[in-house]
Amino acid sequence: MSNKKLFASLGLDAKDLRGGDLTVCSPINGAPIASLRVDTARDLKRKIDRAQQAFLVWRTVPAPRRGELIRLLGNELRRNKKALGHLVSLENGKILAEGMGEVQEMIDICDFAVGLSRQLYGLTIASERPGHRMMESWHPLGVVGVVSAFNFPVAVWSWNFTLAIVCGDPVVWKPSTKTPLTALACQALFKRALKRFGDAPDGLSEVVIASRKIGDRMMDDPRLKLISATGSTAMGSKIAPRIAGRFGRTILELGGNNGMIVTPTADLDLAIRAILFAAVGTAGQRCTTLRRLIVQRDIYDEVVERLKKAYASITVGDPLAPKTLVGPLIDKGAYDTMQNMLKAVAKEGGTVSGGGRLLARRYPKAYYVEPAIVEMPKQTDNVGEETFAPILYVMKYRTLDQAIRIHNDVPQGLSSSIFTNDLREAETFVSAAGSDCGIVNVNIGPSGAEIGGAFGGEKETGGGRESGSDSWRAYMRRATNTINYSRELPLAQGIKFGE
Ligand code: NAD
């Protein structure tokens, strides 16, 4: 399908896609695919004003009715899964199977949110006073600001958006300037759902295409009661204090540096497959990408040898071609960062296999790389940094205690895994003395989470949780209600006051 047809099928208006200052290029070949008008500070204000007006109406709509709107959005996504998945690949460079997987994740969270719209429960609590009842009510919080990263351009928005909408909160979304088209397509699909829904207020969903400068202003607007920001730790550390300064809430979903421990009892056939997907999938550009492999020394040589063989079988190339497993990096900046890091770790004693540029002749303006394996004598500060590219560091360990120490000895705490068939090792890894991450897996890799669980990580990953489980609570405010149905006025703690 031509780009023109693809854009039209997703409801993007051709006249909005040309003549603007923001040029959007496909990482597949570096060619421009659109140029968009960027929002000014005034546009941002106007959009937040509209969302705030929408909040005043939407908060009083019964939650199951709000869920109906998300059910309709899920239907639009089902109808347009192929087209939106294709656009994700075109704009972000991930392979088509992963682009479609991302849209499936959106459909899944829509289903979850629809169910949730009838389950926004509070507790009833035993009161210490006779003739009194205590309970919790959960109310809509206010307008939610969503800032998203280029690597999951639509799924992460949908985790936030679907929950926010059923919880009663309009959303103002600032997508990455590297992937604005997918955001506009989501907005167009949501508009179709709104049309079917009928009576929703204007301003439930606003998209802001803007530079960091304008994005910055978003952080200071007190009407955005919650900012859910996904991106680098550097971004999080800039915005978090500002939002805290105005007592706004945050969900921070920041960088990861995910590890896997492979023990002598591991099923190596499974482990090698899991490592491959987790380390090279999405060209190493997942927050949950496997970046550090910690292997027991007795099986180290075998694991590395098998891994190198598996790496040699990977097809790197056009992400829209059916046999490709690894597409391009997002841009030259990502390529340069990868090359600089490979040089730095080689200086620290790392043995680098792979990592070079591929297909440069065919795609002089795109950045395809051979995924790299780097055998490290120890975990250095550079290994402790997240390099957003397919670099897998491999290190040896002797005892499980030592492996867990190495595993936890990085600033980030997103995802982790262990491959073992030893119950004691598995349970130790998931215990309080084990992995210190927000996601802790046994016999699967660290990437590829399902929407049903709470997603997020500890330490410099930011501590936020979104998607499944009880993450919805972040989008609501809790009121504790005490109701006196007696004819007396007993005080709590038995206090006598003026009697
Ligand atoms: P990035 O930090 O460069 O940008 C992310 C978003 O933040 C973009 O929309 C960007 O415009 C915005 N931004 C950056 N600085 C800002 C500022 N000062 N004020 C307001 N907005 C600002 O990240 P990226 O390169 O797009 O994405 C890759 C990073 O995202 C990696 O570190 C990856 O681990 C992380 N990530 C984390 C998760 C998670 O759930 N933990 C998920 C996906 C990506």
Average pLDDT (13-18) is 93
Report which residue type is found at 98.
E
180 lines ligand 1 (CB under 6 A): no
Report which residue type is found at 173.
W
Burial of 310 (0-12, 13-18, 19+ CB in 10 A): middle
363 lines ligand 1 (CB under 6 A): no
Can you give the pLDDT at residue 37? 95
> Distance (Å, rounded) from C-alpha 419 to C-alpha 186?
38
Can you give the pLDDT at residue 106? 98
Q: Based on the residue annotation, tell me whether 386 is a catalytic residue of this protein.
A: no
Span 226-268, pLDDT tens digits: 999 999 999 999 999 999 999 999 999 999 999 999 999 999 9
> Distance (Å, rounded) from C-alpha 286 to C-alpha 150?
10
**Cα-to-centroid distance, 145 and ligand 1 (Å):** 14
96 lines ligand 1 (CB under 6 A): no
Hey, which residues does 78 pair with through a beta bridge?
Answer: none
Active-site option among 110, 186, 287, 437? 287
Q: Is the pLDDT of residue 312 over 90?
A: yes
**Cα-to-centroid distance, 63 and ligand 1 (Å):** 31
At 111, list the tokens.
Answer: 């289903």
CA-closest residue to ligand 1 atom 39: 253
3 state SS of 254: coil
Region class of 19: left (phi > 0), else alpha (psi between -120 and 50), else beta: left
> Distance (Å, rounded) from C-alpha 325 to C-alpha 302?
24
- Nearest-atom number in ligand 1 for the CA of 253 is 41
pLDDT interval class at 483 (50, 70, 90) = very high
282 lines ligand 1 (CB under 6 A): no
Query: Can you state the angle between helices 155-167 and 180-197, rounded to 10 degrees?
Result: 30
Span 457-466, pLDDT tens digits: 999 999 999 9
CA 30, 34, 38 angle in degrees (round to 5)? 115
Q: Is the pLDDT of residue 498 over 90?
A: no
Full-model pTM: 0.97
373 lines ligand 1 (CB under 6 A): no
Q: Based on the residue annotation, tell me whether 287 is a catalytic residue of this protein.
A: yes
Burial of 224 (0-12, 13-18, 19+ CB in 10 A): buried
Cα separations (Å) of 223 from 55, 56, 163, 181? 10, 12, 18, 26
pLDDT interval class at 211 (50, 70, 90) = confident
**Cα-to-centroid distance, 60 and ligand 1 (Å):** 33
Buried b (16+ CB within 10 A) or exposed e, 277-303: bbbbbbbbbbbbbbbbbbbbeebbeeb
Average pLDDT (129-133) is 97
SS3 content of the chain, % helix, strand, coil (to 5): 40, 20, 40
> Distance (Å, rounded) from C-alpha 288 to C-alpha 128?
47
Matching residue, tokens 């908060």: 59
Q: Is the pLDDT of residue 215 over 90?
A: no
439 lines ligand 1 (CB under 6 A): no
Strand ranges in 263-382 using DSSP code E only, listed in sequence order: 290-296, 351-353, 357-358, 368-369, 372-375
**Cα-to-centroid distance, 292 and ligand 1 (Å):** 21
At 490, list the tokens.
Answer: 């007993």
Span 86-130, pLDDT tens digits: 999 999 999 999 999 999 999 999 999 999 999 999 999 999 999
List CB contacts of 277: < 8 A, sequence separation 6 or more. 445, 447, 448
Average pLDDT (411-437) is 98
At 441, list the tokens.
Answer: 């897996």
**Cα-to-centroid distance, 386 and ligand 1 (Å):** 13
> Hey, what long-range contacts does 351-358 have (CB within 8 A, 24 or more apart)?
351/375, 353/308, 353/311, 354/311, 355/391, 358/316, 358/317
Burial of 380 (0-12, 13-18, 19+ CB in 10 A): middle
Can you give the pLDDT at residue 213? 85
Q: Is the pLDDT of residue 499 over 90?
A: no
Matching residue, tokens 């482990």: 271
Average pLDDT (136-151) is 98
Can you give the pLDDT at residue 288? 98
Please say whether the dihedral angle defined by the alpha carbons of residues 67, 68, 73 and 79, taken in this order, is positive or negative: positive
> Distance (Å, rounded) from C-alpha 73 to C-alpha 20?
29
> Distance (Å, rounded) from C-alpha 153 to C-alpha 373?
27
Pairing of strands 458-459, 476-484: unpaired
Q: Around Cβ 433, how many Cβ atoms within 10 Å?
A: 11
CA 238 to chain centroid, in Å, comes to: 18
Span 364-392, pLDDT tens digits: 999 999 999 999 999 999 999 999 999 99
255 lines ligand 1 (CB under 6 A): yes
**Cα-to-centroid distance, 306 and ligand 1 (Å):** 34
CA 98 to chain centroid, in Å, comes to: 14
Closest CA to 439 of 467, 405, 420: 467
Active-site option among 253, 370, 385, 460? 253
157 lines ligand 1 (CB under 6 A): no
Percent over 90 (pLDDT), the chain? 98
To test the ligand 1 pocket, which listed residue (39, 208, 235) has its Cβ within 8 A of the most ligand atoms? 235
**Cα-to-centroid distance, 398 and ligand 1 (Å):** 36
Q: Quick check: 285 and 496 in contact, CB under 8 A?
A: no
Burial of 407 (0-12, 13-18, 19+ CB in 10 A): buried
> Distance (Å, rounded) from C-alpha 364 to C-alpha 475?
45
**Cα-to-centroid distance, 235 and ligand 1 (Å):** 6
3 state SS of 44: helix
To test the ligand 1 pocket, which listed residue (232, 237, 291, 337) has its Cβ within 8 A of the most ligand atoms? 232
Can you give the pLDDT at residue 55? 98
231 lines ligand 1 (CB under 6 A): yes
230 lines ligand 1 (CB under 6 A): yes
388 lines ligand 1 (CB under 6 A): yes
Can you give the pLDDT at residue 1? 81
3 state SS of 164: helix
Tell me the pLDDT of the chain averaged across its residues. Answer: 97
> Distance (Å, rounded) from C-alpha 13 to C-alpha 9?
10
Cα separations (Å) of 423 from 98, 201, 267, 298, 427? 33, 54, 13, 19, 6
> Distance (Å, rounded) from C-alpha 346 to C-alpha 493?
66
